[in-house]
């Protein structure tokens, strides 16, 4: 089995019937716990008066095929897991081979079953009509339950072709079931409801074999009234999920009777499932050009059985506006007063009318107030609004990463009914800041030059440095808080201040946004519509309204939320005829406006007026709206944001890169390192032309494009079938990606202060595609699945540094820029440009000058003629080599005390494959540690030596952690630190590649 970096599978596939050893002991423990619990309850009940308060009963679930109980044959052996005193079963009748075992999880008095009747063909291990009964987990999903129970016998979800081998799971119906006891007093409450925070996706919910509700949207919280369905004290609860593949196909066919809502299917290169756009579910779970298809089913979020008589607090919304003008330069001693609005959203026990009570609102230890309220209730909901003012110097301001600290304050709301017999409470953490998306004309006297698209936080214009986020695993239940924090911290540690949550995944977990709040990462939040046309029938629009409203209400209070975006690339897809919509453009345009403007924008603006809303990405902003919401050119460089990909031109030169207002997507592919690929492949796969490599490459034409890009600058190794050649190919792919995205990002950062004659420039953001990987395969990610940094992510740390020295060549001149995100000028700096030959470690020429770094600006500080200033015609000659293939330059920026004011940077005049570059022998001179540093309690220090100039030196280690630098150029000794994520007692073995 392949270890999973998210640590949910470590105990999943124990071999052998371990329950036989522990069952007697566990049974005794369960009985003792039950007796002790009863005695404790009896003692409590005899001394405490019962209050008529909210009752919340939690439970687990089961899975079955079709309606009611299924009957299957075969001998069943039980795995017993103690968890409280509840019995939980997960069972299925399927055509698979091997011995079937049942997992029984004890938790309270509830029995949970997961069962399905399916038919699977294939390997000799498959046995028709074999009964399966295994343990289920809620929150969770069918795939993980089946894997943990050893029903999915091929190992890790991502091992080799398991995305194909396990696809039968998504093609069948599954039902979670449970039985539990409730207090008879529960039904005495005015309202009793089942609340599901997330059902994935199309399901029927039954209580005591009677339907109480249905779900059709993964992103909606469902409240089902069940009071009339409760009989006695025993509740039989079933959630019957339909196959997402079958459901989506049915909806597609129903729609196609009128007209087709494309695409008919994903590109064959995706190796996926069709019609994701017809089901409100993670679109990428049907596959994408960087990930596999695992269309999961299950109760993927928490659920409760709740009884109450008055109000149940479910969300708190928060907005704050400063009472005085904010300075345009951060002043952390300035603490303005704030006008605060708090909205408390509640589920009511009555459908409509009024209800009296009180709400206690508190903000940390700064403010508290008890309000007497009369709630006006409509359709079982009410919103209670409270306004108050904070005086100056009571709270500190929240700042994005790199601009200040991120103070957070706990905001609580407690509801009590009139006789104080019932209360409900909720709390969130909030920050005080303002956000704006400025779209003023860049030239007020000439509107044809276009509009800005710049982010202003706390009245400070900021360049957005960041990336795009995709789901960290195709199965959401596999993602841990630790892994989420690790990925987001990797963004913050590389000077990023903005992450775009892409619209084909999920609205992320509460933990995700809480961590973003802590780290100062602004979140560009897409709504979950991507790369498709979508239906606009009434049921689809109604569930979409619920989705948008609920997600905004859930997320709006986070200071990290920057803006809401209606969709990913759907305006561009419509205008660009990606899916054949040109044949009836006006029809699809009307649908587009009906969904994103009339529905999503309307709901978003009505629900939250404290954040900007944009209809699509890419999008021309106000200009798109003025052009009827579908711009003639959604990729205009004069407006809005742009997604740009070009795999045919020379990415290391970047001459075709558009000078856009905001680059919200751009990138290049690479492969993970061999250590990562080895975990999910076998030796026969270790060839760049193997079937497995093409299976893992979901981007159409991706292998050929990547080979082309690598070949432009480096020699592709010969295909001799060796592991060494395979590893080298993976390494070369990472070099290409790192340098290509470095080149493009530096271009965008240099353009932040300039406007050309066409009106292009004033670039205000660069969000590369993408931060994280969903599995081990070819992708645009800078961090591999599991958390290992690619070479690109080490480069991100440098090209997003607050101060950047950037160089490029044009017309035989070397242009040197200094880009600064600092809000104050820095003077008395010394800029040094060293000219090096590839065959000499010592520099052959040095040019230096004193410079002043202007705040929040990109400035041209040097313009060097390659022949007169650098004298390359004299210093860079050898035999028949061109001067560009003999020399390169390195920049250094120093403070007056000799410390670095910016990371060193380099520019290669020519291509490494043509360079006069002697073979280098690289070695580690010493390794010391571990020691405690601010980065890690297990920090190792090492010195890397080389006898020649060395390019792209790559270090690897078997331990989890990151280096202080990697993929670097060597013209002398380099001191590097390794920061281990966990305790390491031995010196790590370092592997070097160059």
Beta strands 435-438; 454-457: pairing state: antiparallel
Closest CA to 973 of 939, 954, 947: 947
Q: Is there a common fold for 641-786 and 922-993?
A: no
Longest dimension (CA), the chain: 99
The CATH number fitting domain 804-914, selected from 1.10.10.10, 2.30.40.10, 2.40.50.100, 2.60.40.10: 2.60.40.10
Residue 123: is its pLDDT beyond 90?
A: no
d(CA 719, CA 431): 56
Q: Is 665 noted as a catalytic residue in this protein? A: yes
Q: Is 188 noted as a catalytic residue in this protein? A: no
CATH of domain 641-786: 3.20.20.80
Q: How confident is the model at residue 985 (pLDDT cuts 50, 70, 90)?
A: confident
Residue 438: is its pLDDT beyond 70?
A: yes
Closest CA to 406 of 509, 497, 310: 497
More confident residue, 422 or 23: 422
d(CA 470, CA 472): 6
Share of the chain above pLDDT 90, in %: 83
Beta strands 498-501; 522-526: pairing state: parallel
Residues 912-957: pLDDT tens digits? Answer: 999 999 999 999 988 999 999 999 999 999 999 999 999 999 999 9
68-77, 210-219, 326-335, 749-758: least confident range: 68-77
Q: How confident is the model at residue 60 (pLDDT cuts 50, 70, 90)?
A: low
199 three-state secondary structure: coil
The CATH number fitting domain 310-430, selected from 3.30.420.40, 2.60.40.10, 3.40.50.150, 3.40.50.1100: 2.60.40.10
Q: How confident is the model at residue 174 (pLDDT cuts 50, 70, 90)?
A: very high
Question: For position 994, what pLDDT does the model report?
Answer: 60
Q: How confident is the model at residue 401 (pLDDT cuts 50, 70, 90)?
A: very high
Catalytic, out of 87, 486, 514, 665: 665
Mean pLDDT of the chain: 88
- Cα dist. 66→112, 138, 149, 240, 610 in Å? 16, 20, 21, 7, 46
403-407, 566-570, 768-772, 925-929: least confident range: 925-929
Residues 6+ apart with CB under 8 A from 976: 941, 942, 943, 944, 955, 963, 964, 965, 966
CB-CB contact of 257 with 248 (8 Å): no
Q: Where are the domains of the chain?
A: 104-305, 310-430, 641-786, 804-914, 922-993
d(CA 546, CA 507): 14
Question: Ranked by mean pLDDT, which of 3-17, 105-119, 260-274 comes out on top?
Answer: 260-274
- Give bridge partners of residue 808 from the DSSP assignment: 815
Question: For position 926, what pLDDT does the model report?
Answer: 86
Residues 296-309: pLDDT tens digits? Answer: 999 999 999 999 99
If you average pLDDT over residues 327-331, what whole number do you get? 94
Q: Which helix (H) or strand (E) holds 659?
A: none
Catalytic, out of 569, 571, 623, 746: 569
If you average pLDDT over residues 413-424, what whole number do you get? 96
CATH of domain 104-305: 2.60.120.260
Q: How confident is the model at residue 872 (pLDDT cuts 50, 70, 90)?
A: very high
Closest CA to 734 of 719, 753, 754, 714: 714
Phi, psi of 766 (to 5 degrees): -140, 105
If you average pLDDT over residues 488-505, what whole number do you get? 98
Task: Sort residue 935 into left (φ over 0), alpha (ψ -120 to 50) or beta.
Answer: alpha
Helices then strands, each counted (H, E), the chain: 17, 47
Residue 779: is its pLDDT beyond 80?
A: yes
- Structure tokens, 426: 């909720």
Residues 599-657: pLDDT tens digits? Answer: 999 999 999 999 999 999 999 999 999 999 999 999 999 999 999 999 999 999 999 99
Under CATH, to which class is 922-993 assigned?
Answer: mainly beta
d(CA 287, CA 744): 28
- Structure tokens, 772: 């994280």
Residue 958 DSSP label? S
- Give bridge partners of residue 374 from the DSSP assignment: 356
Q: How confident is the model at residue 990 (pLDDT cuts 50, 70, 90)?
A: low
Residue 18: is its pLDDT beyond 90?
A: no
Residues 97-116: pLDDT tens digits? Answer: 222 222 222 223 233 334 33
Residues 667-676: pLDDT tens digits? Answer: 999 999 999 9
């Amino acid at each position: 089995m392949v270890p999973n970096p998210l640590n949910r599978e470590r105990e999943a596939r124990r071999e052998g019937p371990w329950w036989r050893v522990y069952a007697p002991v566990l049974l005794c423990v369960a009985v003792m716990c039950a007796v002790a619990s009863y005695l404790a309850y009896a003692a409590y009940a005899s001394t405490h008066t019962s209050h008529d308060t909210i009752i919340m009963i939690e439970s687990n679930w089961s899975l079955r095929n079709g309606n009611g109980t299924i009957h299957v044959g075969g001998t069943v052996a039980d795995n017993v897991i103690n968890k409280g005193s509840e019995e939980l079963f997960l069972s299925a009748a399927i055509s698979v081979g091997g011995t079937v075992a049942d997992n029984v999880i004890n938790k309270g008095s509830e029995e949970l079953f997961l069962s399905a009747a399916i038919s699977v063909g294939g390997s000799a291990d498959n046995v028709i009509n074999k009964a399966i009964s295994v343990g289920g987990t809620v929150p969770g999903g069918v795939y993980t339950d089946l894997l943990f129970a050893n029903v999915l016998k091929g190992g890790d979800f991502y091992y080799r072709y398991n995305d194909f081998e396990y696809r039968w799971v998504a093609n069948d119906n599954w039902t979670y079931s449970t039985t539990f006891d409730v207090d008879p007093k529960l039904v005495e409450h005015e309202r009793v409801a089942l609340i599901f925070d997330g059902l994935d996706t199309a399901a029927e919910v039954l209580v005591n074999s009677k339907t109480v509700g249905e779900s059709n949207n993964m992103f909606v919280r469902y409240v089902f009234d069940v009071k009339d369905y409760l009989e006695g004290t025993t509740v039989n609860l079933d959630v019957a999920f339909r196959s997402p593949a079958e459901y989506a196909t049915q909806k597609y066919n129903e729609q196609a009777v009128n007209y087709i809502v494309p695409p008919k299917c994903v590109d064959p290169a995706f190796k996926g499932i069709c019609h994701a756009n017809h089901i409100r579910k993670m679109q990428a779970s049907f596959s994408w050009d960087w990930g596999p298809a695992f269309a999961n089913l299950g109760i993927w979020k928490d659920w409760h059985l709740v009884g109450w008589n008055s109000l149940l607090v479910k969300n708190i919304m928060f907005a704050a506006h400063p009472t005085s003008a904010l300075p345009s330069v951060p002043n952390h001693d300035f603490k303005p007063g704030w006008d605060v609005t708090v909205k408390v959203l509640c589920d009511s026990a009555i459908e409509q009318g009024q209800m009296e009570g009180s709400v206690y609102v508190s903000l940390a230890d700064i403010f508290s107030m008890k309000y007497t309220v009369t709630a006006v209730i409509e359709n079982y909901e009410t919103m209670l609004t409270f306004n108050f003012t904070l005086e100056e110097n009571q709270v500190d301001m929240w700042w994005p990463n790199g601009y200040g600290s991120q103070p957070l304050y706990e905001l609580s709301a407690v509801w009590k009914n009139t006789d104080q017999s019932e209360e409900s409470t909720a709390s969130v953490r909030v920050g005080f800041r303002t956000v704006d998306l400025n779209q003023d004309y860049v030239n007020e006297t000439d509107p044809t030059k276009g509009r800005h698209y710049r982010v202003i936080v706390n009245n400070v214009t900021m360049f957005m440095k960041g990336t795009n986020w995709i789901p960290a695993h195709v199965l959401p239940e596999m993602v841990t808080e630790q892994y989420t924090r690790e990925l987001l911290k990797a963004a913050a540690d590389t000077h990023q201040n903005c992450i775009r949550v892409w619209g084909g995944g999920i609205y992320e977990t509460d933990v995700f946004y809480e961590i973003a709040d802590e780290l100062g990462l602004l979140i560009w939040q897409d709504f979950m519509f991507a790369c498709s046309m979508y239906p606009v029938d009434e049921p689809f629009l109604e569930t979409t309204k619920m989705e948008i409203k609920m997600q905004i209400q859930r997320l709006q209070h986070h200071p990290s939320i920057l803006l809401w975006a209606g969709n990913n690339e759907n305006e561009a897809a419509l205008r660009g005829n990606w899916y054949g919509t040109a044949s009836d453009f006006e029809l699809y345009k009307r649908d587009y406006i009906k969904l994103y403007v009339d529905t999503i924008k309307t709901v978003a603006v009505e629900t939250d007026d404290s954040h900007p809303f944009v209809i699509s990405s890419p999008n021309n902003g106000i200009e798109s709206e003025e052009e009827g919401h579908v711009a003639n050119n959604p990729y205009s460089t004069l407006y809005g944001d742009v997604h740009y990909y070009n795999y045919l031109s020379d990415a290391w030169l970047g001459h075709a890169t558009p000078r856009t207002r905001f680059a919200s997507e751009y990138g290049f592919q690479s492969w993970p390192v061999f250590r990562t690929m080895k975990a999910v492949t076998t030796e026969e796969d270790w060839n760049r032309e193997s079937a497995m490599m093409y299976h893992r490459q979901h981007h159409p034409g991706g292998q050929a494009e990547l080979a082309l890009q690598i070949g432009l600058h480096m020699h592709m190794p010969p295909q001799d079938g060796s592991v060494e050649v395979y590893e080298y190919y993976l390494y070369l792919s990472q070099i290409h990606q790192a340098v290509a995205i470095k080149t493009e990002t530096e271009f965008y950062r240099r353009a932040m202060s300039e406007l050309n004659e066409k009106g292009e420039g004033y670039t205000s953001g660069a969000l590369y595609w993408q931060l994280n990987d969903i599995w081990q395969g070819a992708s645009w990610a800078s961090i591999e699945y599991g958390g290992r940094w690619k070479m690109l992510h080490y480069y991100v740390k440098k090209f997003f540094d607050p101060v950047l020295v950037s160089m490029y060549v044009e017309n035989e001149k070397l242009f040197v820029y200094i880009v600064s995100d600092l809000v104050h000028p820095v003077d008395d700096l010394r800029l040094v440009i060293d000219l090096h030959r590839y065959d000499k470690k010592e520099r052959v020429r040095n040019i230096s000058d004193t410079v002043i770094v202007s705040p929040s600006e990109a400035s041209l500080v040097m313009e060097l003629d390659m022949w007169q200033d650098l004298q390359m015609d004299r210093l860079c000659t050898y035999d028949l080599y061109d001067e560009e293939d003999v020399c390169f330059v390195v920049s250094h920026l120093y403070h007056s005390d000799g410390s670095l004011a910016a990371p060193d940077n380099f520019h290669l005049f020519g291509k490494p494959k043509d360079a006069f570059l002697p073979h280098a022998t690289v070695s580690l001179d010493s390794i010391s540690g571990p020691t405690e540093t601010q980065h890690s309690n297990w920090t190792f220090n090492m010195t890397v030596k080389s006898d020649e100039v060395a390019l792209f030196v790559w270090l690897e280690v078997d331990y989890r952690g990151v280096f202080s630098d990697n993929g670097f150029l060597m013209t002398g000794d380099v001191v590097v630190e390794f920061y281990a994520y966990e305790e390491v007692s031995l010196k790590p073995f370092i592997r070097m590649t160059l």
